[in-house]
Amino acid sequence: MELDSEVSTDKISMIKTSTNSQKPPSLEQQPDVVRTRKIILILIGILLFLCIICFIFVFHSLATSDSKKDQSPNSGSQLVSVFISIIYYCFGLLVTYRYYQTGLLVFAWLGFVTLLSMLAFVIIILVGIIINTSHLGVAKGVIVAIIFIIICLTASLVQIFTVRYVFILSKLLKNTKRLTIERI
């Protein structure tokens, strides 16, 4: 009877060790997850850098104007919108760095909505630029419009790639079937 109990105890300990050894690999050990995360961090870093530069320019223009009459009517709203963008990209850095799947989905959907609204806004501004610069001549108006299109297209492409890779990382995290709150 005692021999049977020792054998069953050995079997139970073997089962426990085999279950513990089948732990899924860490997120840092999966090359697809790590590569996608690095790409997202780089893209968000670029967008955050551009937002900080924009914030500095808008803040500088507000600080250097002599009176309220010298300021553009939208300068306060520009400052607030750039500040909200900085907070948004900092949130994206946080959820990407920490592998928060729900946060990544929120960040991606907000990015998608932002991208659509930005494209509509760009079209409206482009029409305004062409109308306002038409008194300068057709060539100068077209040059200003082309520069504006290039800048907006570059920012849009970076935003598109960021949203795409965030969705990919979220899907990879979902496929690992792990809690994404693991400490790294």
Cα 130 off chain centre by:
31
pLDDT of residue 180: 46
Q: DSSP per residue over 28-84, as a string?
A: GG-HHHHHHHHHHHHHHHHHHHHHHHHHHHHHHHHHH-SSTTTS-TTHHHHHHHHHH
In angstroms, rounded to a whole number, what is the distance separating the alpha carbons of residues 150 and 103?
31
pLDDT of residue 119: 83
In angstroms, rounded to a whole number, what is the distance separating the alpha carbons of residues 159 and 115?
7
Lowest mean pLDDT among 49-58, 69-78, 146-155: 69-78
In angstroms, rounded to a whole number, what is the distance separating the alpha carbons of residues 21 and 15?
10
- Residue scoring higher pLDDT (167 or 23): 167
- The domain locations on the chain are 30-176
In angstroms, rounded to a whole number, what is the distance separating the alpha carbons of residues 184 and 177?
17
The mean per-residue pLDDT over the stretch 45-59 comes to: 87
Q: With 50 as the cut, is the pLDDT of residue 71 above it?
A: yes
Write down the mean pLDDT value for the chain: 78
Q: Which range has the top average pLDDT, 40-49, 62-71, 110-119, 170-179?
A: 40-49
Q: How confident is the model at residue 70 (pLDDT cuts 50, 70, 90)?
A: low
Q: With 70 as the cut, is the pLDDT of residue 181 above it?
A: no
> Is the whole-model pTM more than 0.75?
no
